[in-house]
Amino acid sequence: MIEVRNLKKIYNGITVVDVPALQINKGESVGLVGNNGAGKTTLFRMVLDLIRAESGEILSNGEVVAGHEKWKDYTAAYLDEGFLIDYLTPEEYFYFIGGLHNLNKAHVDEVLTSLTDFFNGEILKKGKYIRDLSKGNQCKVGVAACLLQEPELLMLDEPFANIDPSTQFRLKNLLKDLNKNKGVTTIVSSHDLNHITDVCDRILLMEKGVIIKDIATSSSTLNELEAYFGVMSPSEEKGI
Amino acid sequence: MITTFLGHELKAFWRSKNTGKSIAIRVVMALLILYLFACILFAGLFLDKILEESFPNDDVVISFCGIILLYFLFDLIMRMQLQELPTLRVQPYLHLPVKRNTVVSYLAFTAMLSVFNLWPIILFIPFVLKVILTDSGALPALAFVLAILGFMLFNNYLALFIKRKANLNGWVFLVFIATLGLIITGDFRFHLYSVHNISYLYFGHLLSKPVLVLLPIILAVAMYYINFAYLKQNLYLEELSSRKASAYKSSTEFPLLNRFGKVGDLVANELKLIFRNKRPRSALVMGLFFMFYGLIFYTNSHYGQTWYIFVGMFMTGIFIINYGQFMYSWQAAHFDGLLVSKINFRDFLKAKYLLFTMVSTVAFILTTPYAYFGWHIVLVHFVMYLWNIGVNTTIVLFFANRNAKSINLSKGASFNWEGVGATQMLISFPLMLTPYIIYLPFSLFKHADMGLAMLAAIGIIFVLTRDFWVKKLEEDFMQKRYTIAEGFRNK
């Protein structure tokens, strides 16, 4: 699904991402972990062709991502609030995104109804613009907009960070369901090791731009990760 | 503590995005501000001459005394519109062990640092020194200065107090504005009383009885304390913030745009952007005011057709110029989202063209009443309308590809330099000059109508070849997209 070759990104002389080779297969669920500044978001942005790599390339379904638009047909992503059009109401935003994928309103409504639990009554018909929602609720809007696009590849950057425990739980189930039953390839980053080992079959551990570990999740993975992060000085150790 | 606050304030000023601009922009900004300052200083220095001219029958001192309160009445209206609440900046201090009194005095103090508190000083004080000091001596002159400062501070704190109240209850603002409106109409429309006379009554007596200076001082001090007490009681974020208590926001649709498919959806979004955010909304409103621009030129026979081209271009294309010069900065906040979602950039550009065409068409229709000054003027408008939707739209979008400064939509447009960069300076040259480069050679050889026809023809050619320009702009954008997105991410 995704193939990375010799990818490098340098800011002010500091290499922030350096991935010589990475292959993510269709149907995998990949978790990306690493401390702040490890290069997770930068990697995400490069996969989405938002920033230009210094060298190397990323292929999505065999086609180079940079400068092409075909990947947009099957890729949905939510990295931060910058992905939302914040002066729209959530409904308007959903219909807009649906419209881009030629979904009519009825179809969009149907998908939204299926997300009633996930929204927990805080998104629809509240009479608020997206900018007036809390960060957690904005995250729900972003995730829902991704699901609406029925993607083959779903990318979320720290989706668990701002949402309440119930929503975290529901989001985990959603992600598992998408991956196991609908074959969606998911790439999720998180600082919560419990969540990420729960949801993902494969964990990539990044440090200073380099993927230093690539592990298939097993019962010992959580311990292995905790051991890694525990080595760091206590101030850098952050659960969430 | 106050000095620490002030230190932070200075840092905030010097390190803000607006000041961190390139040297060239800062020089231009400084020149503009100096120019404005010089204009008012000039008016202040020669106020006696100006008053003599305007009220030849009255003594200068009498007319001076008469206009002061009038000035402060309009000052209050301007403040209600333009003065910003110096509020959210205290947020980082509220949870720290800093005394509430300190925070509040700091807030109250910084509230004085407004340009509105500069105008009365440079406008009136020179006159006081020039005329009152020489005529009546030092004591009345001092009384005048203190009285003017008193009214100034009273206005300052009254405006802020009303604005703070209005944040909690929108009606306060309306009632206050309506009261001011009634006061003004009562004077100028119904002649029930005269603010001019009241002003003279007070300031005239101030000349002979300087003790009266206590009145504005007491007013100012009282207003300051009301403000102080109110702030102290309501030092909570939601009451301080300038965001209004929000009403239910409903979804809107523009059925007319549905027929344009995805392009229509994009235009609908942009219309919502304009209507739902303060700064683009004021760009639109300013555009509406420009519809009266023609009255200045058409009522005066000095100006010939050469000027009409300029006027016609501005009236039918003010939105393209005023709103378009900041493209795509308006969408800076969600530009990443736009890039990632399934939007064909060609559709994106077509939406811009459609939006410009729609607004320009409306503007052209609104200017048709100028037919009163002759149908020829409407013809010129129509030619410039074609020019606007053909050529100027393309120029503006070409420059949009070179603009990577983000804009905060929620701030007002007045005195707001955010998003202003070299692009906005450069863009004015092609916009202003190109029509004349084409028109003037013809008009100089007495074929002005040929020149108009040329402008129209070029406008039509550009409209007909839009697809070509869209393609070119898209290729251009693909080169520059990373730079633009990067710039927009750096808020």
Q: Which residues of A touch B404 (CB under 8 A)?
A: none
B336, B339, B489, best to mutate vs chain A, most A CBs in 10 Å: B336
Is A237 within a domain? no
Residue of B251, B260, B408, B410 to mutate for A, most A C-beta atoms under 10 A: B251
Test A67 with B252 for CB contact under 8 angstroms: no
- Looking at residue B89, its pLDDT comes to 67
Rounded to a whole number, what is the largest CA-CA distance in chain B? Answer: 77
Torsion of CA B221, B223, B227, B232, to 10 degrees: 50
pTM as predicted: 0.76
pLDDT score, position A239: 45
What count of other Cβ atoms lies within 10 Å of the Cβ of residue A3?
A: 16
Compute CA distances B361 → A172, B169, B365, B386, whole Å.
Answer: 51, 38, 6, 10
- For the segment A60-80, the average pLDDT, to the nearest whole number, is 90
Helices B47-54, B23-45: axis angle to 10 degrees equals: 60
Q: Provide the CATH number for the domain around residue A20.
A: 3.40.50.300
pLDDT tens for B204-235 read 888 888 888 899 999 999 999 998 888 888 77
Q: Position of tokens 């009303």?
A: B162
Taking the C-alpha atoms of residue B174 and residue B367, their distance in angstroms, rounded to an integer, is: 31
Taking each continuous run of H as one helix and of E as one strand, the counts in chain A are 8, 10
Which of A121, A150, A179 is the last residue before a domain boundary? Answer: A150
Residues B86 and B105 sit within 8 Å (Cβ to Cβ): no
Q: Which of A125, A150, A175 is the last residue of a domain?
A: A150
Structural domain including A54 reads 1-74+152-232
- A217 shares a domain with A159: yes
| pLDDT band at residue B53 using 50, 70 and 90 as cut-offs | confident
A164 with A220, same domain: the answer is yes
CA distance B321 to B122: 34
Which is more confidently placed, A54 or B23? Answer: A54
Q: Taking the domains of chain B in order of start, what are their residue ranges?
A: 2-240, 255-489
- Nearest-neighbour CA in chain A from B346: distance (Å): 12
Cross-chain Cβ contact A82/B337 below 8 Å: yes
Complex-level ipTM beyond the 0.85 threshold = no
Give the pLDDT score at A233. 47
| CA atoms in the 13 A half-sphere facing the CB of A126 | 20
- Checking if the pLDDT of B5 tops 70, the result is yes
Overall domain count for chain A:
2
What is the CA B430 to chain-centroid distance, rounded? 24
Q: What is the pLDDT of residue A237?
A: 47
Say whether both A163 and A145 belong to one domain: no
Q: How far is B161 from chain A (nearest CA, A)?
A: 25
Q: Is the pLDDT score of B20 beyond 70? A: no
Q: Which of A52, A83, A89 sits opposite B336 (nearest CB)?
A: A83
Give the separation between CA A214 and CA A19, rounded to whole angstroms: 12
Pairing of strands A29-33, A55-60: unpaired
As a whole number of angstroms, the distance between CA A2 and CA A58 comes to: 7
Q: What's the token pair of residue A173?
A: 């189930």
Q: Does residue A156 sit in the same domain as residue A47?
A: yes
| Tokens describing residue B251 | 């979804």
Which of A66-70, A191-195, B88-92, B320-324 has the weakest average pLDDT?
A: B88-92
Q: Same domain, yes or no, for A4 and A18?
A: yes
Q: Are residues A15 and A104 in the same domain?
A: no
Contact residues for B355 (Cβ-Cβ < 8 A; gap 6+)? B267, B270, B271
Query: Would you say A118 and A159 are in contact if contact means Cβ atoms under 8 Å apart?
Result: no
CB neighbour list of residue B271: distance below 8 Å, 6 or more residues apart:
B254, B355
Residues 6+ apart with CB under 8 A from A93: A84, A85, A130, A141, A145
User: How far from B39 is each of B36, B44, B73, B121, CA to CA, in Å?
Assistant: 5, 9, 21, 14
Please count the helices (runs of H) and the strands (runs of E) in chain B.
Answer: 24, 0
Does residue A174 share a domain with residue A70?
yes
Name the residue facing B277 among A79, A87, A101 (closest C-beta): A87
Same domain, A51 and A158: yes
Tens digits of residue pLDDT in A87-132: 999 999 999 999 888 898 999 999 999 999 999 999 998 888 998 8
Choose one of A150, A175, A194: the last residue of a domain.
A150
Average pLDDT value for chain A = 90
A240: in domain: no
Q: What percent of chain A has pLDDT over 90?
A: 72
| A157 and A227 assigned to the same domain | yes
Q: Are A50 and B340 in contact (CB < 8 Å)?
A: yes
